[in-house]
Amino acid sequence: MNEDEAFEYVKNTLRKEKITPYHSHELEVVKSVERCINCGLCISHCPVVAAVGVDRFSGPRSIAVELSRSPPEFWSTADVVYLCTGCGTCREVCPKNVDIPEVVNLIRARIFEHRPDLVPKSLHVLREVLTEYYLAFEPWEDKEEKNESRDMRLERLGLPFVQDKILDKAEVLLYPGCQAEERAQEVREAAKVILDHFDVDYTLLDDMSCCGLPSRLMGDHETERVLAKQLKEKVKKLGIKTVVTTCAGCTSSLSDISYRNEWGVPAVHILEFLAEEIGLEKIDSATKGSTEFSDVHVTVHDPCHLIRHTSRQITDFALDILRQLPGVKVTESEANDSCCGGGGLVSYHSDDVAKAVVKENMEAIQKTSADRLVTPCPLCTAQIESNLFKTGSSVEVDDLTVFIAQRLPKKR
Amino acid sequence: MCMSDSEFDVVVIGGGSTGTAVARDCAMRGFRTLLLERDDIASATVGTCAGMISSGLKYRSEPDIMKMCSTEVVHLNRIARHIIMKNPILTPFRDLSDVGSDMEYVESYSEHAEERDVPEMMFLTPEATIAIEPLLHPDVVFSVYYEEFFIDPFRLCLLQALDAKRHGAEIKTYCEVIGFETVNDVIQGVVFYNRITGTTEKIGAKIVVNAAGPWAPKIAGFSGAELELRLNKGAHIILDRRVVNVGISVKALDGRYIYLFPHENTTLLGTTALDTWEDPDSLVASFDEIEYLMRSIETYIPSIRDARIIRTMAGVRPLVADWKVPEGKVTRGYQVIDHENGLISFTGGKLVMCRHMAEAVTDIVSKKLGNDSACTTHEKPLPGNEADVDVEALSAEYGVSMHALERMRARRGTEMTKILELTKDHPEWKTTICTCEPIIEAEIRYAIREEFPQTLNDLRRRLRLGTGPCQGTFCTYKAASILSEELDLQGDDFLVDILDFRAERWKGIRPSMRGEQLAQEELAQGMYSCVGNLDQSDVDYDLKPWEEGV
Amino acid sequence: MDMECDLLVIGGGMAGLVAGTLAAEAGLSTILLRKGQSATAYSSGAIDIIGYLPDASEPFSTPEEGLAAIAGLYPLHPYSIIGYVDGIKPEDVVDEIVGRTRDTITWLKEKLKDTIAPLSGDFKSNIFPITILGTTKPTCLVQKTMYSEDLQTREDSVLLFTGFSGNADFNPSVAAKTYLEDRIAIGEPPRKVGHCTLRVSPFGKPYNVSSVEIARHLDHERSIEDLATQLKPQVEQLGATHVAVPPVLGIKTAMDNKKKLEDQIGAEVFEMLGFPPSVPGLRLQLALEEMYRTNGGKMLVGHEATSYIKTEGRITKVSAKAPRREMNIEAKAFILSTGKYIGGGLSGDENGIRETVFGLMTVTDAYHSAGEIIPSRYTNRIAISPEGHPINSCGLTLDPHFRPINEDGVEWASNLYSAGAVLAGYDYSIEKSGLGVAAVSGFSAAKHAIDFIKEVA
């Protein structure tokens, strides 16, 4: 056998033995997981364990000391590892900051490669959408209908319509993310309203494509790479200075890929952009005169991808901005930072688990007696809204970007 | 002395890989067989090996031995495949001058490859080598690829013992032979101290097989015979999880070969070779041995110190007494020595040969006792290897996680259904006890009832209990409670069991203590000393051999 | 976005939260950085002050006795540092140490009074609560749910150990046996014990029922009544006066649950000391955080101190890293309370022991440099013994103002203070002094830091 044949033979053997060599960036994750001392603090804090019990989801500790130790056996973790919502609570409470969310992705990638039959079917369906449309949702077939839906939403929310700006060159790229692009269009529109109001030189993509987070979460490295590469090319072509997004998942994901793939451009959430670039004083003076809205009592939900995957400081920005909006009273909920269950693609295949996870939030939200919940993420908004609705709650839910945009005076 | 009138055809001394194999063969050929082990099954030499059932690669100067090794791999893969896994292995080279005459083994390895169902030895480019194992030094110029098989050495010994038992043999652990009854210098009986009952007992024996490993000379001495061994210490470092994708074998600083092998859910780095005259029970890995291994592997895997060392282990090879040659040049063949006084001893040998050694000695026994039944130990499966196991189906049927069952399967094969059946009456026994491995309560109860453990350490050997990164920090208490309940132990004995297990784990943790093992030990101290107050316990705790001294 | 404050506390265990609370209470703007939870969150719920001298076999019956012995024999023990006050008379040193410790404990008890982890016991004497092993250990305070009034003094006491099916964290039959043997040996009550196993299935399965699941379940309405119904016949059958349960009585409602149970079964109920992940540790951590926030402290969770700027002998800024953002925090003074190996304040390998944030000098139990030691050589052959392992006494050494010192024996920075397990000179596991040293050193470091900040301002 010559050397090339030999390599093919060995690769084939590794496949049979279900061994995929760790990539160099994965070695950091593996090293992090080795730090686990089995203390179990994560189990006391994991929202999925709290919701469904340690028998159904054996929890982050089990992922660290048990499930991630032997790659040839990764397939056998398929009954557990897809139930992680990736909220990052474990990593945050861990004295060793063991990177459980990433090792979950690593394991899922191995299952995806070696035992696709054990990957939940709905994730394969999602994959097909992603590979066909480069978006996490099937796009509207009829552009007109899409616009009608958008206009209805804008009307209901009292938001003005700002024309899409697609420029060759701009300071800022507004990246709405798949949810705001195809489903929660009001969030995309609200972001435009805000940027427009503060005269930000921004552009949208002429051809929006997914950041790759869903592919990463299901372990589909190949699609993840394709999507990340596409986006990098688009960003590079535009020559922008900052990417601003309205989605929590996109914030952490874009921060991650922009760093790893050397975009040389930071990616921030619109709240960060408001607090750090626009400044609270400007927002204050802009919203001061706004009288169109009656007083409202809100409570806030902090998206995992912002607070635990990016920085807790973003919550402070949200509260700072909310507290200076006229007529807005904020009451913090006891479960403000507890996962809504919408993460990790869990709701795609185990909706009962996602629902059980969000239950804690539901109860805490009711307890605040707020009439509105705001959250800076369209996915959390959707997850919490549908669950509140099902429980017959009267609490309304708004994406925070929309909530802020509503309180800006209409530009003439 | 408690006299016993039991009379055995064969008494086997030693519960290691050879002793249990002999007991199995003798029992299968219909001899009344007793195995006496002073500690527990697989508690010495075999318990500190890497589990490689070697193709004999290192012994290319002994073609017969390579051939025997290869055939034995085939046999073991037939009788015990449920506890065997294959490791692809790379031997990378950074310097062509390192290769030299070493290439002879390519041919001799490849000669028997086909029967083991592995490819002939192959050469890989540096690019391919790094792609397979990115941790390797970028200066690798080429590598050699081959495949070896690895067995769970504890389970192998235990399964041989259990199989012997199923064929009528008696297995007595914690029974230390202290002498022989002789008439005209011929052995008539064996005298032993039963450490469980605290009594001295005697049984009659027609033939005694001395498979006591490092202690074989001592046993031979009891009969007035002389036996010499070359005892050689080997130490391993155990790393948490599989840090390499494949086995890596490299030339060490002194020109020997050392290896880094993924083993179950750990990685083993070994081994050293030092002639030793120490008490095997008190041996621990030395600082120099640890550094020798680390520095040697570091030349090929520069980042190895980032990996978490969970412990070390040290054991003694009972080599044939060839002197004035390096350890590596001592024959890896074995010798059967008939002392012509009713005692037959072994020297030398390797794990992979244990069945062959048993066959050879049982043939002699048969001849002496006039029995002509043929050896079948290479044909009949060991318990659990009767059929394939469908883990996914069992998981669905019994409601236990797939991973827990996959690990259980690797220990038990088909036997696992007996354990799972227990959970029908006792669903609470589905509770996970050891979180690293993992192990559920039903398997612990089953092992206590069916596999004659006396201590937590015995349970560890049967179940891999407490062998993960936390080294039993969390399962010690839980498993001790179960053991205590099953064996109806006194409260003091329960606490002693905890202290014993911590002591044994500490023996291996201490020499290599660094990194997160410091935090792990702070936690263990926090639990057993700070909360449990066991440092202040007034129970009768006997210091272990390695704890004595300053 | 960068931040500013008077005092920056690095580390959010007992030491850091006590220090931060004291500073916030004194009106300083205080930020606490926490990269993860710490050993405090694993603790059994007991606040040990001092149980034993190293290598001694008799426990101290009072903390005061223990502190006096420490002050006499271990002059560089964190407790002893309290006694180094300018111009103090030698005969007043012990009083100073005892006084500060008493003040801290009194203060802490008061602060935690209305939280989910109120404390019982007082500074006057050590108590000997039962552990899940069936052993007892000396400590000073326990959470109220863990306190038994008269189990070990009442001549006719009968104790029922209660476990839960499918919860391997506690085995009642083994604990009962171990405990009774011990009581018989020392000839003290209770003279009769029993055990039983109850069933609580938060998720409908009788297996893999974790302690925190039981606790959370018992926080829900009606569940404690169901438990009482199961427990009552067992108590009556044995004639139990006391019931020992593992530490699972609830997270938010444990005190109420204890009362409700006692009312319904007619026996005193208490939680034993247990192993991590422990519910009382969780309660204590939450209660301490609440205490800190209520007093006006700000917490930055998920942020790790990664680098610093030091000019003219003073630290001016520390950078804090979140998963995907980084910021600088400017402060007038800093408290380092990052814990030992578990907390991550110290790390060690075959080349020595390091302090992880500032690279401060570390010392061994004998106050030699620990910067280049081989850890295994600072351990004993015996795993569990009253000598402990010297490696667990390594850490920072302080000046009388609780500032870490450098090789020259002077403070490394004029505005850096330190407290808790990162300090050298004590092995909390064998002394039984962990949370006590953490609280008292946190209290002391904060006092000095507050004085410093006020002087500067």
Q: Which residues of A touch C1 (CB under 8 A)?
A: 275-276, 313, 317
Which domains occur in chain B, in start order? 2-45+154-228+332-369 (3.50.50.60), 87-147+231-320 (3.30.9.10), 391-547 (no CATH)
Q: With the CA atoms of C231, C234, C236 and C241 taken in that order, what torsion angle do they form, in degrees rounded to the nearest 10?
A: -80
Per the CB < 8 Å rule, is A39 touching C277?
yes
* CATH number, domain containing residue C266: 3.40.50
User: Is residue C339 situated within a structural domain?
Assistant: yes
Per the CB < 8 Å rule, is B473 touching A37?
yes
- The whole-angstrom separation of Cα B399 and Cα B393 is 10
Name all chains with 3 or more CB-CB pairs below 8 Å to chain A: B, C
How many CA atoms lie less than 13 Å away from A104 in the CB half-sphere? 29
Decide if A381 contacts A298 (C-beta within 8 A): no
- The whole-angstrom separation of Cα B94 and Cα A411 is 70
- The whole-angstrom separation of Cα B369 and Cα B9 is 8
Residue A162 vs residues A269, A405, A411, B162: alpha-carbon distances, Å:
20, 12, 10, 79
Per residue in A241-265, pLDDT (tens digit) is 999 999 999 999 999 999 999 999 9
Using DSSP's 3-state secondary structure scheme, residue B257 falls into strand
Domain, as residue range, for C246: 130-272
Query: In this structure, are C264 and C182 located in the same domain?
Result: yes
pLDDT of residue B2: 46
CB atoms within 10 A of CB A346: 25
3-state secondary structure chain A: CCHHHHHHHHHHHHHHCCCCCCCHHHHHHHHHHCCCCCCCHHHHHCHHHHHHCCCCCCHHHHHHHHHCCCHHHHHHHHHHHCCCCCCCHHHHHCCCCCCHHHHHHHHHHHHHHHCHHHCCHHHHHHHHHHHHHCCCCCCCCCHHHHHHHHHHHHHHHCCCCCCCCCCCCCCEEEECHHHHHHHCHHHHHHHHHHHHHCCCCEECCCCCCCCCHHHHHHCCHHHHHHHHHHHHHHHHHHCCCEEEECCHHHHHHHHHHHHHCCCCCCEEEHHHHHHHHHCHHHHHHHHHCCCCCCCEEEEECCCHHHHCCCCCHHHHHHHHHHHHCCCEEECCCCCCCCCCCCCCCHHHHCHHHHHHHHHHHHHHHHHHCCCEEEECCHHHHHHHHHHHHHCCCCCEEEEHHHHHHHCCCCCC
Query: In this structure, are C321 and C447 located in the same domain?
Result: yes
- The whole-angstrom separation of Cα B125 and Cα B130 is 9
Strand locations in C298-358 (E)? 298-301, 304-311, 314-321, 326-336, 346-349, 352-355
Per the CB < 8 Å rule, is A43 touching C202?
no
Q: Does B85 touch chain A (CB under 8 A)?
A: yes
For the A280-406 domain, the top CATH level (class) is alpha beta
Task: Please compute the mean of the pLDDT values over residues A160-179 and round it to a whole number.
Answer: 96
* CATH number, domain containing residue C109: 3.50.50.60
The per-residue pLDDT string of chain C (457 residues; one tens digit each, 9 = 90 and over) reads 899 999 999 999 999 999 999 999 999 999 999 999 989 998 998 999 999 999 899 999 999 999 999 999 999 999 999 999 999 999 999 999 999 999 999 999 999 999 999 999 999 999 999 999 999 999 999 999 999 999 999 999 999 999 999 999 999 999 999 999 999 999 999 999 999 999 999 999 999 999 999 999 999 989 999 999 999 999 999 999 999 999 999 999 999 999 999 999 999 999 999 999 899 999 999 999 999 999 999 999 999 999 999 999 999 999 999 999 999 999 999 999 999 999 999 999 999 999 999 999 999 999 999 999 999 999 999 999 999 999 999 999 999 999 999 999 999 999 999 999 999 999 999 999 999 999 999 999 999 999 999 998 6
Name the residue among B484, B492, B511 with its Cβ closest to that of C181: B492
Per residue in A311-343, pLDDT (tens digit) is 999 999 999 999 999 999 999 999 999 999 999
Query: In this structure, are C259 and C299 located in the same domain?
Result: no
Look up residue A262 and give its two tokens. Answer: 């050397």
Decide if A257 contacts A212 (C-beta within 8 A): yes
Which backbone phi and psi does B10 adopt, to 5 degrees?
-130, 135
pLDDT of residue B3: 47
- The whole-angstrom separation of Cα A403 and Cα A340 is 19
Distance from CA of C345 to the nearest CA of B (A): 11
User: Is residue C119 situated within a structural domain?
Assistant: no
Q: Does A214 touch chain C (CB under 8 A)?
A: no
Q: Which residues of B touch C134 (CB under 8 A)?
A: 491
Query: In this structure, are C425 and C340 located in the same domain?
Result: yes
Per the CB < 8 Å rule, is C131 touching B532?
yes
Residues 6+ apart with CB under 8 A from C16: C9, C10, C32, C34, C335, C337, C419, C420, C442
Domains of chain A by residue range:
3-119, 143-277, 280-406
Distance from CA of C346 to the nearest CA of B (A): 9
Which backbone phi and psi does C245 adopt, to 5 degrees?
-115, 155
Cα A397 to chain centroid distance, Å, stands at 17
Tell whether domain A3-119 is in CATH 3.40.50.10860. Answer: no
**Successive 10-residue mean pLDDT values, chain B, 550 residues:** 72 98 98 98 96 87 91 97 96 82 76 93 95 95 96 98 98 98 96 97 97 98 97 97 94 94 94 95 96 98 96 96 92 95 96 98 97 96 96 98 97 97 98 96 98 97 95 97 97 97 97 96 97 96 86
Q: Which residues of C touch A309 (CB under 8 A)?
A: 323-324
User: Is residue C241 situated within a structural domain?
Assistant: yes
Q: Which amino acid is at A86?
A: G
- Whether the full predicted model's pTM is greater than 0.80, yes or no, is yes
Distance from CA of B476 to the nearest CA of C (A): 11
Q: Select the residue from C212, C324, C337 to test the A interface by mutation, using most A Cβ atoms within 10 A.
A: C324
Of all helices (H) and strands (E), which one includes residue B480? helix B475-486
User: Is residue C278 situated within a structural domain?
Assistant: no
Name the residue among B265, B306, B395 with its Cβ closest to that of A79: B395
Query: In this structure, are C315 and C452 located in the same domain?
Result: yes
Query: In this structure, are C297 and C320 located in the same domain?
Result: yes
How many domains in chain C? 2
Which of C250, C272, C294 is the last residue before a domain boundary?
C272
pLDDT of residue B102: 63
Residue C169 vs residues B477, C42, C163: alpha-carbon distances, Å:
8, 14, 9
3-state secondary structure B69-87: HHHHHHHHHHHCHHHEEEE
Per the CB < 8 Å rule, is B125 touching A7?
yes
For the A143-277 domain, the top CATH level (class) is mainly alpha
Name the residue among A21, A30, A65 with its Cβ closest to that of B132: A21
Name the residue among C177, C207, C375 with its Cβ closest to that of B490: C177
- The whole-angstrom separation of Cα A142 and Cα B386 is 61
Nearest in space to B335 (alpha carbons), one of B234, B186, B220: B220
Per residue in A203-230, pLDDT (tens digit) is 999 999 999 999 999 999 999 999 999 9
Per the CB < 8 Å rule, is B135 touching A27?
yes
Q: Which residues of A touch B308 (CB under 8 A)?
A: 34-35
- The whole-angstrom separation of Cα B70 and Cα B176 is 34
